[in-house]
Amino acid sequence: MKHLLSVTDTQDNILDILEVADKLKKDPWGYQTLKNNVLGMIFEKSSTRTRISFEVGMLQLGGHALYLSKSELQLGRGEPIEDTAKVMSRYVNGVMIRAREHSDVVKFAENATIPVINGLTNLEHPCQALADIFTIYQDKKTFNVHLAYLGDGNNVCNSLLLAASLVGMDMTVISPEGYEPDVMILEQAKEYAQTSGSKLKVANDVSEVKGADVIYTDVWVSMGDEEEVNQRLKMLSEYQVNSDVLNLANPQAMVMHCLPAIRGQEITEEVMSCGQAAIWDQAENRLHVQKAILSILLGKK
């Protein structure tokens, strides 16, 4: 694995990442494997979990992280992303980018001589999806589960499809028409599923959540979608994760949300706070999984 731009980059390493994450979670400060390493972090979009987990992760691994907003870089004044990639490759050991356009992260990686990590784009959120399947495995002790994703088939949903299909997890995406996941990513996931045995499905009816072992949702209005807020709230209103939806699932079903959550929209306060919610474990696991990614990418010298 040279970069982590998409979950597809982990097809030969995904179980290694999860194994290392488990080891690092058990002893957070015990593996100073990235001493004298510096991670440059470029943020075009605001962040809570991504920034904190990468910054703390580098510290726990013995390294250092630099926070760089686009407005503070010459990128904000029009410097080509190719030039920024070449310059940063001379200064730091790796770069994490949280960007709007997936093509920008790909272009950066093509011009960098160091590992590049996708911290979020409009197409994928691979670090989140890897932390999610790690959370599911830690709770269920198996990938032989059915994950039901309700709501907008966004970047998180795209990466979850790829991750689930790589480890053999069944997944149903339940979205209104026009809000389904990316077609090309779905086709790629289906190719992986032929090998792993995953059963993947895209549906429009909330009743498809019946018997699910995991219920997952995300915000209905992501960053960049603010102009569509009224339309999105109208179209997605029937896909709220509430007690009725939870009652359709397996009685032991776990509830997941990648945060931030808008209580009363995509998920109710009641479900968010119930004993079946694994949301805070999920958020914590961003740290452990990203440390594993950093260890594998930056520590491979």
Active site positions, annotated: 98, 125, 128, 218, 258, 286
Contact 109, 121 (CB under 8 A): no
* Opening angle at CA 281, ends 274 and 218, nearest 5: 70
Report how far residue 283's alpha carbon sits from residue 53's, in angstroms, rounded to the nearest whole number. 9
Side-chain-facing half-sphere of 136: CA atoms under 13 Å: 31
- The span from the CA of 11 to the CA of 42, in Å, is 25
